[in-house]
């Protein structure tokens, strides 16, 4: 354990510019001191290097401490923790994005705007929604039934800003085209101006995607994707899960969608799908 810690710690200290400032100042100072007859004791130069090394170690500790705080962060609410484990009455496709709280004070008046944006983006029937609104939480279900919904949207503004979009399907196998189309809509909604008033993602915001409680036959494909099912993986109840970051070079999340689609195919036992998946374009998906 000590050896492993040193392998991580020493390079981190060496990346601090204070280390090189101390080393450079000590070496140059000692050489100048030799040329002028050692008027300054060598221990003084060692002390300068030691002082700079202490500063470098302190800054390394601070950086590690900040990373740990960011990693631990505020705990997610229960509904968000369980989102990727949905398994009731079919397979569930889930996208969960976690960001900062908005800078402006939260106002429940934004709920109407969010509901309108959801209806427009996902093609929902406004008259067939079950809406549950609280001081810092909004839940939208479709259709408005007492049983398990086919669509579920949840937004929360507690310690973090969180938005979760979920679909349920009883299809066996699950069409990969359905997975791609739903994720494309989900990312469009998550990046909308309406959601930005609740969840501040910016760039490098984190989001996760899963297909949980997969059916026995996994997923099905259609052109332009062609693949061969090499193995009959037992996929019933399996969950495919991936984490992503909103990046400037993937501003619409399309590359992440293709990566998740590839992971879903792989976990269903397919091979040789990469070239066909690369031919899948966002306009072709949105035109269907």
Residues 107 and 67 in one domain: no
- The answer to whether residues 120 and 59 belong to one domain is no
Please report the pLDDT score of residue 119 as a whole number: 94
**Does 117 lie in the same domain as 46?**
no
Last residue of a domain, one of 72, 91, 125: 72
CA–CA dist 140, 189 (Å, integer): 14
Q: Which of 27, 47, 72 is the last residue of a domain?
A: 72
| pLDDT at residue 101 tops 50 | yes
The sign of the CA dihedral 121, 119, 241, 65 is positive
Q: Shortest CA distance to 243 belongs to which of 205, 203, 213, 201?
A: 205
Q: Is the domain of 99 the same as that of 24?
A: no
Peptide bond into 224 cis (omega under 30): yes
What pLDDT digit, counting tens, does each position of 194-227 carry?
888 888 776 667 899 999 998 888 888 887 788 7
Q: Against a cut of 0.75, is the pTM above it?
A: no
Q: Structural domain of residue 192, as residue ranges? A: 78-286
Domain end point (choices 41, 72, 103): 72
Higher pLDDT, 156 or 65: 156
Look at the chain and report how many structural domains it folds into: 2
250 and 278 assigned to the same domain: yes
Question: pLDDT tens, 236-265?
Answer: 767 889 999 888 888 888 999 999 999 998
Assess whether pLDDT exceeds 60 at residue 5.
Answer: no
Same domain, yes or no: 234 and 106: yes
Residue 1 banded pLDDT, cuts 50, 70, 90: very low
- Tens of pLDDT along 115-126? 999 999 999 999
pLDDT of residue 145: 83
Residue 54 scores a pLDDT above 80? no
Q: Could you tell me if 142 and 28 lie in one domain?
A: no
> Does 95 lie in the same domain as 141?
yes
Q: Are residues 149 and 239 in the same domain?
A: yes
Write the secondary structure of the chain as one string of H (helix), E (strand) and C (coil): CHHHHHHHHHHHHHCCHHHHHHHHHHHHHHHHHHHCCCCCCHHHHHHHHHHHHHHHHHHHHHHHHHHHHHHHCCCCCHHHHCHHHCCCCCEEEEEEEEEECCCCCCCCCHHHHHHHHHHHHHCCCHHHCEEEECCCEEEEEECCCCCCCCEEEEEEECCCEEEEEEEEECCCCEEHHHHHHHHHHHHHHHCCHHHHCCCECCCCCEEEEEEECCCCCCEECCCCCCCEECCCCCCCCCCEEEEEECECCECCCHHHHHHHHHHHHHHCCEECCHHHHHCCCHHHHHCC
Give the percent of the chain with pLDDT over 90. Answer: 29
Is residue 111 located within the same domain as residue 134? yes
Asked if 36 and 167 sit in the same domain, the reply is: no
Q: Which of 29-33, 69-73, 227-231 has the lowest mean pLDDT?
A: 69-73
Residues 67 and 82 in one domain: no
């Amino acid at each position: 354990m000590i050896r492993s810690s040193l392998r991580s710690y020493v390079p981190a200290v060496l990346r601090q510019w204070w280390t090189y400032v101390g080393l450079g100042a000590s070496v140059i100072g000692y050489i100048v001191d030799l040329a002028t007859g050692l008027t300054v004791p060598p221990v003084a130069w060692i002390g300068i290097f030691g002082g700079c090394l202490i500063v470098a170690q302190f800054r390394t500790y601070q950086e590690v401490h900040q990373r740990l705080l960011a990693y631990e962060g505020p705990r997610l609410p229960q509904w968000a923790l369980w989102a990727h484990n949905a398994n009731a009455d079919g397979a569930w496709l889930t996208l969960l994005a976690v960001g900062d709280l908005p800078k402006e004070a939260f106002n429940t008046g934004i709920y109407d705007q969010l509901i309108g944006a959801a209806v427009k983006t996902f093609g929902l029937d406004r008259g067939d929604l079950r809406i549950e609104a609280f001081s810092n939480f909004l839940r939208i279900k479709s259709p408005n039934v007492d049983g398990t919904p086919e669509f579920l949207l949840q937004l929360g503004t507690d310690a973090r800003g969180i938005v979760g979009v979920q679909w349920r399907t009883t299809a066996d196998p699950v069409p990969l085209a359905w997975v791609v189309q739903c994720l494309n809509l989900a990312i469009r909604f998550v990046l909308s101006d309406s959601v930005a008033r609740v969840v501040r993602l910016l760039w490098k915001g984190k989001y996760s995607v899963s297909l949980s409680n997969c059916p026995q036959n996994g997923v099905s494909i259609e052109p332009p994707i062609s693949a061969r099912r090499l193995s009959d993986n037992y996929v019933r109840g399996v969950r495919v899960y991936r984490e992503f970051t909103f990046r400037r070079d993937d501003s619409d999340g399309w590359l992440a969608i293709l990566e998740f689609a590839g992971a879903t195919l792989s976990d269903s036992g397919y091979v040789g799908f990469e070239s066909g998946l690369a031919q899948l374009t966002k306009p072709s998906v949105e035109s269907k």
